[in-house]
Structure 1
Amino acid sequence: MRKQSKWVLRIFAVAASGALLFNTPSALANSLNDLKKEQQNIQEKKSSIQSNIKETETKIDTNESKIDQIMAQIQALDNEIMATEKSISAVLSEIEQTTTEIEALNASIAELEQKIADRDKLLKERIRAVQVSGGSVNYLDVLLGANSFVDFIDRFSAVNTLMEADRKILKEQAEDKAKLEEQTASLEKKLQEQEDSKAQLLSLKANLDNQKSSKGTLVDQLEAEQAKLLEDKEQMETEYEEVLNLDKEIQDKIVAEQKRQAEIARKAAEEKKKREAAERQRQQAASGSTTSIPEVSSGNWTKPASGRFTSGYGYRMHPIYGKGKMHYGIDIANSTGTPVVSAADGVVSYASPLSTYGNVIMVTHSIDGQTITSLYAHLSSIKVSVGQVVSKGQHIGAIGTTGNSTGPHLHFETHLGYWEGMASNSVNPLRYISL
């Protein structure tokens, strides 16, 4: 941006120095046009920078909103992680309690296994005893082998006791084995459930940690982008400030250039005053009239043509369209060919046909630091060219009826600044001239 500013200023310096060296109407016009073009470029640059600043501010607000949303999500994840960690702690406490229970159960199982082993040993001994006695115990032979009734009763009681003991051993053995299987299955199921619960919670926590990490990474990216946007905005604001300063410099140069051109035009007019007076006299003689060119008034302005004042500035019934319409100038009627003069010292900025105006001349004046443009329309002839310096009262054209016109007359307008359309900066010409 600084390089561009220096380049623009160098261009201005070259344009200004060129105008001073050559001091010609075209050089003056080009110098001022260059300044105006550069001013327009700067205005466009200002608008572009302002648009970029607003766009960046919108992105900053959007990023800020995204960061707030993600931070809220991270907070929610933190709450979930804390709840999950609390659940994991509860499960670990349950596992610790279950471990204590398992130790007690293991002791019970060991005792039960010992009982089963002892019974297995006893049963094995009983089986061996049966095998030694021939493969089976005949309780009837035992009873019939009694020597007496008392011996029979003793033998019967012993047989019952032995049979009951065998049944009890078998029953207890079956019950203990079932109990062992039940306790073992219960232990395995409880351990599996706790391990499953622990694994699920650990998986959930890992997932939440990953989400939090991902969100944190996104926040880091957004914050980095936010910092870049803020840096860009600050840079654009600095650039805008530089453009503002440059705009002020160019505006000052434009004012100075207009004053310089006005001074050059004034001096040129003074140098040509006698010659122009002689020219006017010659034209008057040639036209056979001594009153066709109006007398030059004192002051900055003079009447642009002799004739009858037919229409003023403001709303009127339009003679062609037949309805109320704004009239942005005044009309002076006279015969075709009546001389038209420059209303003030200045530089010709336009001299050509223009739309419904017909043949048009525009003269840009710089009076007391104020730029004013006068317009002369419906001319039958144009006697000056663009860039030509003209003096107040100098013959520049002739009354006619070109363009949209109902008869020969001069349509005369004045605009503050430059002409940018009939309605732009238009003011009543009677502010400056007297009829």
Structure 2
Amino acid sequence: MKRSKKSFRILMSAAILALAIQGPITYAASLSDLKDEKSQVEQKKSQLNGEIKEKTSEINTIEAKQKKLLDQITKLTDEITNTNNEISVVKQEIEVTTGEIETLKADIIALQAKIDQRDELLAERARALQANGSVSFLDVLLGANSFVDFIDRYSAVNTLMDADRQIMKEQKEDQNKLEEQKASLENKKQELESKKAELDSLKASLNSQKNEKDNLIKELEAQQKQIASEKKVLEEQYEEAVEISDEINAQIAAEQKRLLEVARQQEAARKAAAANNMNSSSHGGGGSAPAVSAGNWTKPANGRYTSPYGARVHPISGSYKFHYGIDIANSTGTPVVAAADGVVSYAGRLSTYGNVVMVTHSIDGQIFTSLYAHLSSIHVGVGTQVSKGQQIAGMGSTGASTGSHLHFEIHVGTWVNQSVGSVNPLNYISL
């Protein structure tokens, strides 16, 4: 960027030096080039400004996407935190259930010991019966010696039978209770394990989504960094274009000032020499040059006065517009002459004016600019010193025109646009 700026200044310095060596008239010819270059720089500035706005818009779009993703990541992070909390609760429940299962195992061991004792008691009872032979409770009762002995034997038999029945009942109840508690705890543990697995799966899914969002954030940050870098380059180019534009504006102002000084010197020389202005011998075209009037101004061309200064209906658009000059119609090529002594400040195409010549005048210390439009030919160049009545162009119909004529304007000061400094030419010339 710095090299480009330095190169531009070197080229500009070399160009100015070369023009200065060639002389004042050739140097003055650079005014049109400077204006063209300024126009190109302004177009470049406009283009760069548009591109900068596009980059700014892209950055704003990316920032909006980042904000949306950050909100989503925040939500996912909250969900992950909640899931972790649920997992912690389930883990605690699993630990509690596991502890209950361990406690149940201890109870099972104690209950099993009871069952084993009962089994041993029943086994001993069976061994006793086996050792004593097969004796039924009826035999025991019938073996009584008296009624009292019978009652005692009956009571003893009932007691034994009740004891056996109670043992069997407790054995069965304890076994059922054991199986129920064990099954309940196993089911509870299985449910908790299943819930933990679901939560682990949910956590993995949330982590995956968060990682995806994080990656998108990184991609957007990379894009934002790239676009910001491109925007910075465009801004540097725009700043350079502004500097170049300022330099060109300064050169244009200096050149206009020089041309005005040339016009003043020309007026002073004319007054000092008290010389009469002469018509140029070169006329060409289909008519004659107008006679030179006395005074500071003269008629710019012969022909028919067709349109006055002021508001009118435009002959092409048909709309009501202000006419900032006067029109003189004649055949193509009719000589167009300088309306006063001066220096040519513009010569070339100019929008709807077609071919245009502008002459800057210094009259009694006041600066004027006369404009001649729709020309078929141009006989002078920028920087040419012209005398009142000297042919500078041929009448024509270039630009937005309905026929061969001269559109003539006078402005107080230098020409900026149609309206700035515009005055009625008939205040200065006679037709």
- Structure 1: which amino acid aligns with 2:311? Y
Partner of 2:384: 389
* Partner Cα distance (1:264, 1:177) in 2: 128
Partner of 2:106: 107
Asked if structure 1 preserves the Cα contact closer than 8 Å seen for 2:45 and 2:238, the reply is yes
Are the structure 2 counterparts of residues 62 and 251 from structure 1 closer, same or farther at C-alpha, using a change threshold of 3 Å?
A: same
Map 1:118-197 onto structure 2 (within 5 A): 118-129=117-128, 138-197=136-195
Higher mean Cα deviation, 185-194 or 122-131? 122-131
Are the structure 2 counterparts of residues 145 and 370 from structure 1 closer, same or farther at C-alpha, using a change threshold of 3 Å?
A: farther
Query: 1:38: Cα distance to partner?
Result: 2.6
TM-score, normalized by length of structure 1? 0.73
Partner of 2:359: 365
Partner of 2:325: 329
Query: 1:170: Cα distance to partner?
Result: 1.9
Are the structure 2 counterparts of residues 246 and 203 from structure 1 closer, same or farther at C-alpha, using a change threshold of 3 Å?
A: same
**1:244 corresponds to 2:274:** no
Asked if structure 2 preserves the Cα contact closer than 8 Å seen for 1:340 and 1:399, the reply is yes
- Structure 2: which amino acid aligns with 1:396? I
* Partner Cα distance (1:331, 1:90) in 2: 97
**1:315 corresponds to 2:315:** no
Map 1:408-419 onto structure 2 (within 5 A): 410-413=406-409
Asked if structure 2 preserves the Cα contact closer than 8 Å seen for 1:102 and 1:187, the reply is yes
TM-score, normalized by length of structure 2? 0.73
* Partner Cα distance (1:211, 1:319) in 2: 70
Are the structure 2 counterparts of residues 122 and 424 from structure 1 closer, same or farther at C-alpha, using a change threshold of 3 Å?
A: farther
What SS does the aligned partner of 2:158 have?
helix
* Partner Cα distance (2:349, 2:191) in 1: 100
Asked if structure 1 preserves the Cα contact closer than 8 Å seen for 2:59 and 2:227, the reply is yes
What SS does the aligned partner of 2:372 have?
strand
Question: Deviation per CA, 1:341-376, whole angstroms, max 9, x where unpaired?
Answer: 122431672499x99x8xx75223345798956225
Asked if structure 2 preserves the Cα contact closer than 8 Å seen for 1:311 and 1:331, the reply is yes
Higher mean Cα deviation, 423-432 or 384-393? 423-432
Asked if structure 1 preserves the Cα contact closer than 8 Å seen for 2:324 and 2:424, the reply is no
Question: Deviation per CA, 1:208-234, whole angstroms, max 9, x where unpaired?
Answer: 455445545544554555555555545
What SS does the aligned partner of 1:32 have?
helix
**1:341 corresponds to 2:337:** yes
Query: 1:179: Cα distance to partner?
Result: 1.0
* Partner Cα distance (2:282, 2:79) in 1: 103
Query: 1:181: Cα distance to partner?
Result: 0.5
RMSD of Structure 2 on Structure 1 (CA): 4.8
Aligned length: 415
Are the structure 2 counterparts of residues 266 and 104 from structure 1 closer, same or farther at C-alpha, using a change threshold of 3 Å?
A: same
Asked if structure 2 preserves the Cα contact closer than 8 Å seen for 1:330 and 1:411, the reply is yes
Asked if structure 2 preserves the Cα contact closer than 8 Å seen for 1:266 and 1:345, the reply is no
What SS does the aligned partner of 2:357 have?
strand
Partner of 2:429: 434
Name stretches of at least 5 consecutive residues in structure 2 with no aligned partner.
Answer: none
What SS does the aligned partner of 2:291 have?
coil
- Structure 2: which amino acid aligns with 1:168? Q
What SS does the aligned partner of 2:176 have?
helix
Higher mean Cα deviation, 317-326 or 170-179? 317-326
